Structure 1
């Protein structure tokens, strides 16, 4: 007789109010990289093939918001949404109370750790084959000190034995249920997590599995900015992984498609079976003029009946000190780089919404720090990033993804016109950027900046 496999259940604690972060809304509903923290975390567990069910623990004020996000995101594994308590321990107790099978493998995770990876989940599940309780931890990079009541150092433990705890923590459901049963009647217990309860009552040995340094907990406003950058780095890795390279049946529109990176995107997309329409000033299309962009899109859509991807590779760079720059040159850059991006986004949206499509814009490494003699260009490229991040939120409801490619110095006509002849070995090939662009366009991410760097020789 075959023994039934115990269910594997994720309990996601999402009942925080964001008081420590001093935010107007709970941290789990903040937008990072185009989605709420809540959705990012749910995505990880929903996608893991060995997670059977998800139990969400929320507070009364946020229950309706959570339910709406679950329905909109079609999170099929969310079995129950239960109300938590005033403390983390009470919320965890509410979660385990919703698990009926004492043999179930249970993972308890703080939903404000949205950068959890699938491999960590798997390590926890595998460890439960041997142990009844599992903690996730990483080595401490800092020296930890023990403080006296007077504010002096009492003890400095050996750092090699110390670990920083994360979540998920994993348990056999019956063990965690018993730990919370004992804690409910124990006013003296002072622990901050579920493994602490198990250790406090001596219920089982707690195994330790490796966590991930990127699995940060969003607690303070600065963590939001760090998480956003980590998602950007993750999107690069995701875009470089193998994917379905066929674009057969897809329609791709490329503005700035007659030279440089745009031309490389056109050629690559065509080689992968897409119907590609390239436009530039050569065709009389000025992307800063809505009528020009509208006409181009109508032409492309009229030919195939739809548009799946739009890539805006058009741009203008004019070097020189601001003091010596004419207003014509300044306006040319602002118009082509920023106004053009806005126009392309606005005019493309209706077409992309029909196909739940993708829009790609381009920035420059100068967007993070303006550079002398290219100050106006740098400013426009920083604005493009902010534009995309804002539009990612606006477009999400329609299923339209918008991302930004940030290539390192690339061998293009625009670069040679401004910087002259440079060693080829120091420059990216435009084809490499085109490959990353199409990978990003066909991915499911939105609101992210993809850094494309030249690999070391």
Structure 2
């Protein structure tokens, strides 16, 4: 068995987004409150099996990605490299950026943000025995060979696999395969569609081991893929495990938490982790001025939570003041909290209940989208914004603390 080598995740983000219908690179499109690239880098940055991360980016977008990496605190990213004119050239540049030392490299499409951590682990484990690894899943469709719109052959589906990424290699192996490919005059007109194809063609003596992939590990290529990936990422965020108690204390101990609404349960819970909790009546969220005055009395504020409280049952029965509070309360608190949270680098949590009335339902949707939008707008100020959708006050308190302690932003959490 080959001894453990450093493992480097290479995120290939050199695409332009033409097929998905956007003018900007598709890896910078936001899904579930964060760019596709952020979701993908985080998978490798958080993996205990990955030692470093190299990002290869579309020409002209290296500096924005450098800022993204700094803002998100991706500590394993050691290089951000400008891509080439083709995927082959881009991969070659990434391999050069890795350096000369022997190591494992995991080449992954940036637009596969739903990669399961288990697959990264399986690839690294497989490289303890093999020098080339392909991630693939069985084909659920029948595949045809056609010519001039006539079916010529029906392939045996039991032998077919659909390739995914990451594709993992010993660095010396994939680098040698690419050296031979780039020295071959015929390679330019008959390029391989993936990196394992380069190894198979130019180093046929190297066995390529298959690691099971996942149907979730989809590639965002077409407009419909954006909607599917967005929903899957939101579902994954909603299922994020609750932080451990030490995380609550780390985030809350000695910090001031301002709560608008009926926050008795939340105050008791947060105080138990060392927080200083200031509660204000929900009515103070009627205007930005009232909310700002209340926050000024609290001194330096590290976290602000807006609890929606009971919504009017129907639009027709709601009085004007109750309607204004239901629809604008979260926005008023957010505007009042912004300058304070910018100073402390804190977190804003906007809670909405789960009612289905003609006031509650749209207010809930608005709260969720407001949190996602503010998370993107305020990220440069190191302010995190999350939404919590609950009805039970006891569950509301715990889920709000989860939102504070998670370190995430732009998430909508059900509780």
List gaps (5 residues or longer) in structure 2. Answer: none
Contact 1:56 1:81 in 2 (8 A): yes
Residue 219 of structure 1: how far off its partner (Å) = 1.7
Counterpart selection for 2:402 from 402, 417, 439: 439
Superposition TM-score, scaled by structure 2 size: 0.89
Aligned length: 407
Contact 1:239 1:440 in 2 (8 A): no
Counterpart selection for 1:163 from 161, 164, 168: 161
Distance, in Å, in 1 between the alignment partners of 2:279 and 2:18 is 51
Partner SS for 1:98: helix
Distance, in Å, in 2 between the alignment partners of 1:333 and 1:151 is 64
Contact 1:12 1:110 in 2 (8 A): yes
Contact 1:334 1:377 in 2 (8 A): no
List gaps (5 residues or longer) in structure 1. Answer: 411-428, 453-457
Counterpart selection for 2:218 from 185, 203, 216: 216
Q: Please identify, of 189-198 and 147-156, the stretch whose mean Cα deviation from structure 2 is larger.
A: 147-156
Residue 30 of structure 1: how far off its partner (Å) = 1.7
1:226 matched residue in structure 2? 228
Distance, in Å, in 1 between the alignment partners of 2:323 and 2:158 is 54
Q: Please identify, of 24-33 and 337-346, the stretch whose mean Cα deviation from structure 2 is larger.
A: 24-33
1:382 has 2:365 as partner: yes
Q: 1:21 to 1:365 in 2, by over 3 A?
A: farther
Give a deviation string over 1:355-401, Cα, whole Å, max 9, x none: 221111123556xxxx6xx2233222222222111111111011111
1:129 matched residue in structure 2? 128
Residue 403 of structure 1: how far off its partner (Å) = 0.8
Contact 1:233 1:451 in 2 (8 A): no
Q: Please identify, of 376-385 and 16-25, the stretch whose mean Cα deviation from structure 2 is larger.
A: 376-385
2:380 matched residue in structure 1? 397
Superposition TM-score, scaled by structure 1 size: 0.81
Q: 1:264 to 1:213 in 2, by over 3 A?
A: farther
Distance, in Å, in 1 between the alignment partners of 2:98 and 2:280 is 58
Alignment of 1:136-155 (within 5 A): 136-140=135-139, 142-155=140-153
1:85 matched residue in structure 2? 84
Contact 1:316 1:333 in 2 (8 A): no
RMSD: 2.5
Residue 160 of structure 1: how far off its partner (Å) = 4.6
Distance, in Å, in 1 between the alignment partners of 2:384 and 2:280 is 21
1:242 has 2:225 as partner: no
Q: 1:300 to 1:103 in 2, by over 3 A?
A: same
Give a deviation string over 1:333-354, Cα, whole Å, max 9, x none: 5411221110100111122222
1:13 has 2:19 as partner: no
Distance, in Å, in 2 between the alignment partners of 1:126 and 1:190 is 29
2:389 matched residue in structure 1? 406
